[in-house]
Amino acid sequence: MAAKFGFACTIYMGAEDVHRQRPNVFWMEKLGATVVPVTTGSKTLKDAINEAFRDWVSNMDTTHYVMGTVCGPHPFPEMVAWFQSIIGKEARQQILKSFGRLPARVYACVGGGSNAMGIFQGFLDEKDVELIGVEAGGKGIATGKHAVRLAAQDASPGVAQGYKTMFLQDSDGQMLDTHSVAAGLDYVGVSPILTDLWERGRVRFEAATDQEVMAALDLTIKKEGIIPALESTHAFVQAFKEAGSLSPDQAIIINQSGRGDKDIFTIAHAFADPSWKAFIREKGAEYAAY
Amino acid sequence: MQLTDTIRARKAQKDILLMTHLVLGYPSFAVNREVIGQMVENGVDVIELQIPFSEPVADGPMILKANQEAIASGVKVRECLDFAAEMAACHPIPFLFMTYYNILFKYGVGDFIKKSKEIGIQGFIVPDLPPEEGEEYLRLCGEHGLAPIQIFAPTSSEERMRTLAGHGQGFIYCVARRGVTGSKTEFDRPFNDYLARCRRATELPLAVGFGISSREDVAALRGKADLAVIGTATIRLVEEQGPEAVGPFLAGLR
């Protein structure tokens, strides 16, 4: 958007996320953005949000704050939710056209919650459409290394980064470190709008572990010929678990909110792909020789 | 005596007051104790004790680091309260808590305010709680006679300043410039215009903070503000030269 309209653009990104989503950083820089790796705190999305706030309050006269997810102080959650609602509107039109009726269930992954809010808004008023948000189970809920705010009991109400929601925090209110193989889901808070929908029973929350995600990714690539992002694959995991309980005349929507190309290093590493590793070594040797 | 009166009484004796700040448990409570002793000996008028929080969005790199290292070293809110009780009992100046709202919220806003009153704290600076979201906090501060310090910024309209002032007690914390704690502030014409707007909006004493670090800075505030706030500068000093450097530094500010 900044490239299209000729705006100067600074992007704050956790240093850990810069490292694990390096292809995204490459494209952002090619588009003309300055990417600032944030090395404070957990070096992920939470800390990038804090740094972006600090920049914004320092440069408010010349700068707009553009939030990537449906979190933060009012009116950002509602603004971002509205921008994302195009996903739900189009998905609704498309399934009615191609299938002739509404889906039984809609699955979406939830980090901050932008893609989920986007697609859910196409179906919020349809009582018969079940909405399922899938959080990052990381290494498993019992290990504490996850980002599950609503699907388990680990989070509690809190107020941080300008909004109130369920946060993963200790009894003093200090935010905890989170973990997920997917950078976009690796976040302590969750959209206050989604928390509200969860409290009212409109959206059901589940969690998928890193391990389940890699298995579902492998299956999706082989059977469907598509490469979902690691974030989106969380939605696929839950859909695969539950699809068997549907009748043949029912449909589901899985929101593939991003492509897995950006995750090639993480995915290849997780699959311990020998030919990819050989290629990286070869490429590394080639650059080292310059 | 309530905070507003204490400050007015002190201001009648001096041409500008000093408020200093430190992050509790950073680098340790023992160092905090020594630094506070020197602050009091050198005539500091008010001290704000920052209870560390993992997401200190209003703070710049120095105080951010202090918050994160204090938490990493295991500092708990309960220890901060115990330490504050000790300080308030042995020093005859007002102590305030500065922290972010989640610390109060998790403790229980009512319990936190009641406990603060019991241990001799006189007010709070909570930069991420606008009055519209702090009804319970403001009411309970009022009931317990504690000052909920309100914050003006250069971006605040005069109408907003008057609204904020209506909820404030003790003094108004005037953020000297757009931004976070710790970087340099220019005391130029727009700054003076801003302080004049602050002055028109309230009769409460005015404290000016963010980027105040030298004798010249404090001198620039004389006659325009009631309190000069020194935050990052003393934390940096302790870090670079040790706690014993704080006394001479503060003595040289006025």
Domain ranges of chain A: 2-58, 84-258
Q: Find the catalytic residue in B5, B41, B59, B186.
A: B59
Cα separation values, A123 from A11, A239, B151, Å: 32, 17, 43
Per the domain annotation, does B209 fall within a domain? yes
Can you spell out the DSSP letters for A233-263? HHHHHHHHHHGGGS-TT--EEE---SBGGGG
Whole-number percent of chain A with pLDDT over 70: 100
Mean pLDDT of B80-102: 98
B79 is an active site residue = no
Helices (H), A143-229: 192-199, 210-224
What's the pLDDT at B211? Answer: 87
Kind of pairing between the strands at A203-209 and B46-50: unpaired
The answer, yes or no, to whether residue A15 has pLDDT greater than 80, is yes
pLDDT at A234: 98
> For A112-137, what is each residue's pLDDT tens digit?
999 999 999 999 999 999 999 999 99
Task: State pLDDT tens for residues B162-220.
Answer: 999 999 999 999 998 888 887 777 888 889 999 999 999 999 999 999 889 999 999 99
Give the A window 155-174 contacts with B, CB below 8 Å. 156-162, 167, 169, 171-174
pLDDT digits (tens, 9 = 90+) for A161-171: 999 999 999 99
pLDDT tens readout for residues A191-205: 999 999 999 999 999
Contact at 8 Å (CB) between B228 and B221?
A: yes
Contact list, B134 vs chain A (CB under 8 Å): none
Residue B16 domain-assigned? yes
Task: Kindly report whether the peptide bond that precedes residue B27 is cis, defined as omega within 30 degrees of 0.
Answer: yes
* pLDDT tens track for B105-162: 999 999 999 999 999 999 999 999 999 999 999 999 999 999 999 999 999 999 999 9
- Residues belonging to chain A: 290
Looking up residue B12, the CATH number of its domain turns out to be 3.20.20.70
**For residue B80, what is the nearest residue in chain A, using CA coordinates?**
A172
Q: Do A174 and B54 touch (CB under 8 A)?
A: yes
Give per-residue pLDDT as tens, A219-262: 999 999 999 999 999 999 999 999 999 999 999 999 999 999 99
Cis peptide before A75 (omega within 30 of 0): yes
Give contacts of B109 with chain A, Cβ < 8 Å. none
State the nearest Cα–Cα gap between A159 and chain B, in angstroms: 5
Q: How far apart are CA B252 and CA A14, in angstroms?
A: 41
Average pLDDT (B71-80) is 98
A84-258 fold: Rossmann fold (3.40.50)
Q: Give me the percent of chain B exceeding a pLDDT of 70.
A: 100
Q: Shortest CB distance from B55 goes to which of A50, A157, A171? A: A50
Task: Answer yes or no: are the C-beta atoms of B181 and B210 closer than 8 Å.
Answer: yes
pLDDT of residue B177: 86
The reply to whether B203 belongs to the active site is no
Which of B55, B71, B103 is facing A161, going by the closest CB pair? B55
Rounded mean pLDDT, A92-101: 97
Residue B80, domain extent: 3-241
What percent of chain A is helix, strand and coil (3-state, nearest 5)?
Answer: 45, 15, 35
pLDDT tier at A53 (50, 70, 90 boundaries)? very high
Q: Which of B45, B48, B217, B226 is labelled catalytic?
A: B48
* Beta bridge pairs of residue A208: A136
Contacts of A234 (CB under 8 A, 6+ apart): A109, A134, A135, A136, A182, A185, A208, A213
CA atoms of A229 and A255, how far apart (whole Å):
11
Asked if residue B248 belongs to a domain, the reply is no
- Please give the tally of structural domains in chain B: 1
Chain B CB contacts of A75 under 8 Å are none
**Would you state the pLDDT for residue B178?**
86
- Which pLDDT score is estimated for B226? 97
Structure token digits, residue B16: 């500008």
Domain assignment present for B250: no
What confidence score (pLDDT) does residue B112 get? 98
Tokens of B80: 């901060």
Give the mean pLDDT of A30-59: 94
Mean predicted lDDT score pLDDT of chain B: 95
Q: Is the pLDDT of residue A71 over 80?
A: yes
Find the Cα–Cα–Cα–Cα dihedral A234, A240, A241, A242, rounded to 10°. 110
Mean of the pLDDT values across residues A274-281?
95
Note the pLDDT of residue B180: 81
Report the residue from A50, A157, A174 with minimal CB separation from B71. A174
**DSSP per residue, B180-246:** -TTS----SHHHHHHHHHHHHH-SS-EEEESS--SHHHHHHHTTT-SEEEE-HHHHHHHHHH-GGGH
- For the segment B224-249, the average pLDDT, to the nearest whole number, is 94
B171 lies in some domain:
yes
Picking from A46, A168, A174 by the largest number of B CB atoms within 10 A of its own CB, the best residue to mutate is A174
Nearest to B166 by CA among B202, B193, B207: B202
Q: Is A62 on the interface with B (CB under 8 A)?
A: no
